[in-house]
Every structure is written in C-alpha cells, then in structure tokens.
Amino acid sequence: MAHSPSPKLWYLPNHRDALQAHMHFFHKLVNAKTEANYHAYYQTLIKDGTANGATSNAYLTSSNVPFKTKCIIMKYKTGPLYNQKHAVLLKLSTSETRPLCPQADSALHILSGCQHTQIRNMITKRHNLACRMIFKAISKTGSLGSCIVSKDIGSSERLTMQFLPIPETAESRIVPKWLFPFHFPDKDRFTSSRPDFVLVTPIAAKTQEQ
Ligand SMILES: [Zn+2]
C-alpha cells in the first residue's frame, strides 16, 4: 500500500521578514513594499497630523461596515483595487484606458476623478452621503450641530429626510463673505469652491473648516 509523502515542515526563524520571504517565494503573495507610494503618502498624512490613525482605521473594527466594503477600502489604501492597469499587467487587456471614458484608469480615477456622467453622479452621491454621516455625528455630539453655518453636502430635502438641521445659508452656493479677509475681491469669492462644512465654534473669531 502506497503512502503519500509526509509534508515537508521546517521552522521559520521569525514571523516577520522570514515568513514574508517564505510566503512570497512559495505562494506568490507579492511582497508588501513599505517604500512604495501608497505607504509613503499615508505615513506623511499621519506624521503631519492631517490624518488620525485610529479614526481612519476604525472601519476595520466597525460592525456597521460590511466585510466586502472593508476589503475594497483595504485594496484602495494598499494598491490592488482592480482597474485597467491590472488588466494589462495580467494580460487580460491591451489598453490602460477606461472602458467607460477615454481616460487612463486608476483607483483614484474610479473613486473620485471620473467625469462620465453616471460615475460623476455616483461620486457626488457618495461624497454627500459621507458628509451627512459626519454632519449627523457632529449634531449628536454636544451642541455643535447648530454651529454649522454653511454646507455643501446635498439638497435640503435630503437633510430634512434625515432630521438634520438646515443652516441658514444652505441654499446659497456662494462662500459667506465673512469667511474671507476684509479686502478679498468678490470676483474671487464668487468663484471659490464652497467647503463641505463651515463650523463656527462659540469662541469669537475662531473658525474651523472641515
Ligand atoms: Zn473615467
């Protein structure tokens, strides 16, 4: 009776670089490059205080975020979110151009750069949805909800549907005059893009933008 050969086992000196080298060599899992752009961009944001590590990774442990969504976010943050560049690399296509629009494909293009009407509407909708969630969280925390004096996060009807307060200047698409220095030209003010929120804290002359 033939016996199948017992699997070859050996010890790895550690669970870090030795394990990584093993996985890459035997299972083609591709080395994670810590000097690559994605890693470097994120580290810069953490170091200069623009991003908060605990907050930006909270989605990983949140029960409100479906597993599939967590995977997509992870792929976006680390690089392998499938797009035409991957298709070319895997020899599934010969063109790096998007099938929907004539531009070069990338993860960033899919999530926020595409100008195709349908995709652009989806991007705006996703942006407004995320902003309304932030607005809701601010409104729930203490009394800061009433300190939001301007917003650009979708229609007032949407805010009403979610029982969110409507700022006085909600319908105006122009950035309030008082947000700019005294002699700031109106021409430039009218063409300035509106911040998602303008939140004025009770301390006079202290303005925070989000
Ligand atoms: Zn596009």
Q: Is residue 44 part of a domain?
A: no
CA angle 164, 176, 51 (to 5 degrees): 65
Task: Determine the distance separating the centroid of ligand 1 and the alpha carbon of 89, expressed in angstroms.
Answer: 19
Q: Taking the CA of residue 23 as centre, how many other CA atoms within 13 Å lie in the half-sphere pointing to its CB? A: 11
One-letter amino acid for residue 92 of the chain: L
Which range of residues forms the domain containing residue 186?
Answer: 142-210
**Residues by chain with Cβ below 5 Å of ion ligand 1:** 98, 101, 103, 114
Q: What 3-state class would DSSP assign to 71?
A: helix
Task: Determine the distance separating the centroid of ligand 1 and the alpha carbon of 105, expressed in angstroms.
Answer: 7
Q: Is residue 29 part of a domain?
A: no
The pLDDT of residue 67 is 94
Q: Is residue 159 part of a domain?
A: yes
Task: Determine the distance separating the centroid of ligand 1 and the alpha carbon of 97, expressed in angstroms.
Answer: 9
Does an H or E element contain 134, and which? helix 117-140
Residue 183 is given by DSSP the state T
Separation between Cα atoms, residue 92 and residue 10, nearest integer Å: 37
Separation between Cα atoms, residue 151 and residue 136, nearest integer Å: 13
Q: Is residue 162 part of a domain?
A: yes
Tens-digit pLDDT string for the chain (210 aa): 556 666 778 788 888 888 888 887 877 665 666 666 777 888 888 899 888 888 888 889 999 899 999 998 888 887 788 899 888 988 998 998 888 888 899 888 988 888 899 998 998 888 888 888 888 887 776 666 666 666 666 666 666 666 666 666 555 666 777 777 777 777 777 777 777 777 777 665 555 554
Q: Is residue 18 part of a domain?
A: no
208: β partners: 199
The pLDDT of residue 61 is 92
Q: Is residue 179 part of a domain?
A: yes
Q: Is residue 180 part of a domain?
A: yes
Task: Determine the distance separating the centroid of ligand 1 and the alpha carbon of 123, expressed in angstroms.
Answer: 11
CA distances from 31 to 1, 42, 48, 132, 210 (A): 42, 18, 27, 38, 36
The pLDDT of residue 70 is 92
Task: Determine the distance separating the centroid of ligand 1 and the alpha carbon of 101, expressed in angstroms.
Answer: 5
Q: Is residue 110 part of a domain?
A: no
The number of domains in the chain is: 1
